[in-house]
């Protein structure tokens, strides 16, 4: 049987890793796929890149020549972004080619259009590497957990943010200091906005949410909050209260709709996710039948991500000759069965909260704060008032609340910040038990 011919769009870190894995493990991969798989050509602006990687493949600087090449069976999109990549992917689908991509932004923003087009043309679009690198979370949601109603998912799905918070916790370092190291180590880009402000995680969470609950991709409705305002003091106080701070993506089915949110979250130190450190990723999925399942591993890197890309290529090769109507659906549910369930506004979610504020060290301050909390139907779970430092007139007050609607907490914070005795904005971190 003739080999399946692959064209790579991009020969950078992941593209090079994909070619290397296919080259090194080609015989074993062919045994699994039932046919040999060979990279025919790669699009790159570096003409010597293939030679640097020791690859004997064709090179072009024209990516469209690959998607329009009738000899290419599978197009692997690894250039990133969501403008040129969208054009290339749609053109490949128009030409009847299967597509594999590691591009979470492309899927999160344009996946609905891309999957509709792929269904019309009878081709597959595989995207395991788009979420959590080498962790097979997409396949698990789409196939392994298909007997379950997914109740919630919580995940550390950005390694850069997790590295920063780990260093802040273990070494008491400031955010800016750790970010500079993350950039020097190559974990963070020169412009780290997508990582530290939660945009990268929100792309990934919108994909997980759609697959878990059978809804269309809705990245624009994902509440997104970064970690730039987390201080070493917050990390220390959380530890005193028995919690760790993690930057989580959380999606949950509720009576009001689907929660879809990315933000710093305090979770008990005994929780599995609290012990995921450094640049590692982990996703905790709770199904009604199976209970909690944890998926842990490298969320980025050349060969970890290439592992997921090549696994997608193998899946495509196995299914190429099958009836398109019998293939596993892109978003786990049959396209005509996606539900119009609303995504809940952040003000309507219910969770517990950690609050930190600076106030004057004088009688009656706590009474004023607790009165506001009581009037907003907020119960206080724990309270810490720090001793004044160096004869200062101000003190840190830390409150841990029971579960309450976010809108109520917004109103309470606004009133607390308006008090004459309050000398700072209130720092708020949502608290989840993940039970």
Question: How many of the other CB atoms lie within 10 Å of CB of 24?
Answer: 11
- Residue 318 in contact with residue 33, Cβ under 8 Å? yes
Rounded distance between C-alpha atoms, residue 249 and residue 283, angstroms: 9
CA-to-CA distance for 278 and 280, rounded, in angstroms? Answer: 6
Give the containing element (helix H, strand E) for 375: helix 365-375
- Reported as type and span, the H/E element at residue 370 is helix 365-375
3-class DSSP assignment, residue 386 = coil
221 is catalytic: no
| List 139, 204, 221, 246, catalytic entry | 204
Strand order in the sheet with 58-60: 58-60, 37-43, 4-9, 74-77, 98-101, 125-126
Q: Are 97 and 71 in contact (CB under 8 A)?
A: no
Name 62's Cβ contacts closer than 8 Å, sequence gap at least 6.
43
d(CA 246, CA 274): 7
DSSP run (H or E) holding 254: strand 243-254
Per-residue burial over 85-117, b if 16 or more Cβ lie within 10 Å, else e, is bbebbbbbbeeebbbbbbbbbbbbbbbbebbeb
- Could you tell me where the DSSP H helices lie in 256-335? 302-319
Do the beta carbons of residue 266 and residue 243 sit within 8 Å?
Answer: yes
Residues tagged active-site: 204
């Amino acid at each position: 049987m003739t080999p399946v011919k692959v064209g790579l769009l991009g020969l950078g870190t992941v593209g090079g890793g994909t070619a290397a894995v296919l080259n090194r493990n080609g015989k074993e991969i062919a045994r699994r796929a039932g046919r040999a798989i060979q990279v025919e050509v790669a699009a790159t602006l570096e003409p010597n890149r293939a030679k640097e990687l020791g690859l004997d493949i064709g090179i072009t600087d024209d990516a469209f020549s690959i998607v329009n090449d009738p000899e290419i069976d599978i197009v692997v999109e690894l250039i990133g972004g969501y403008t040129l990549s969208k054009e290339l992917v749609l053109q490949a689908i128009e030409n009847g080619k299967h597509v594999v991509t590691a591009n979470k932004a492309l899927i999160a923003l344009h996946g609905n259009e891309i999957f509709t087009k792929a269904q019309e043309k009878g081709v597959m679009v595989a995207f395991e590497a788009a979420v959590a690198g080498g962790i097979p979370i997409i396949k698990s949601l789409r196939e392994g957990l298909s007997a379950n109603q997914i109740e919630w998912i919580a995940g550390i799905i950005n390694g850069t943010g997790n590295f920063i918070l780990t260093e802040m916790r273990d070494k008491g370092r400031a955010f800016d200091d750790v970010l500079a190291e993350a950039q020097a180590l190559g974990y963070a880009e020169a412009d780290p906005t997508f990582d530290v402000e939660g945009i990268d995680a929100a792309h990934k969470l919108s994909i997980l949410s759609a697959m878990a609950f059978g809804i269309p991709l809705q990245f624009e409705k994902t509440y997104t909050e970064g970690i730039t305002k987390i201080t070493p003091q917050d990390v220390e106080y959380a530890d005193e209260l028995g919690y760790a701070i993690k930057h989580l993506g959380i999606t949950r089915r509720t009576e009001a709709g689907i929660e879809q949110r990315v933000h710093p979250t305090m979770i008990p130190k005994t929780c599995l996710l609290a012990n995921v450190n450094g640049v590692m990723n982990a996703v905790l999925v709770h199904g009604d039948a199976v209970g909690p399942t944890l998926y842990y591993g490298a969320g980025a890197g050349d060969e970890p991500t290439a592992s997921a890309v090549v696994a997608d290529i193998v899946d495509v090769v196995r299914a190429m000759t099958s009836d398109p109507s019998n293939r596993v659906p892109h978003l786990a549910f049959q396209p005509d069965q996606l539900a119009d369930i609303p995504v809940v506004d952040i003000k309507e979610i219910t969770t517990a909260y950690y609050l930190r504020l600076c106030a004057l060290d004088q009688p009656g301050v706590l009474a004023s704060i607790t009165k506001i909390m009581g009037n907003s139907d907020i119960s206080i779970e724990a309270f810490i008032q720090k001793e004044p430092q160096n004869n200062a007139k101000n003190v840190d007050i830390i409150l841990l609340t029971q579960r309450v609607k976010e809108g109520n907490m917004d109103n309470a914070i606004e009133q607390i910040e308006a008090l004459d005795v309050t000398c700072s904005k209130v720092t708020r971190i949502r608290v989840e038990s993940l039970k």
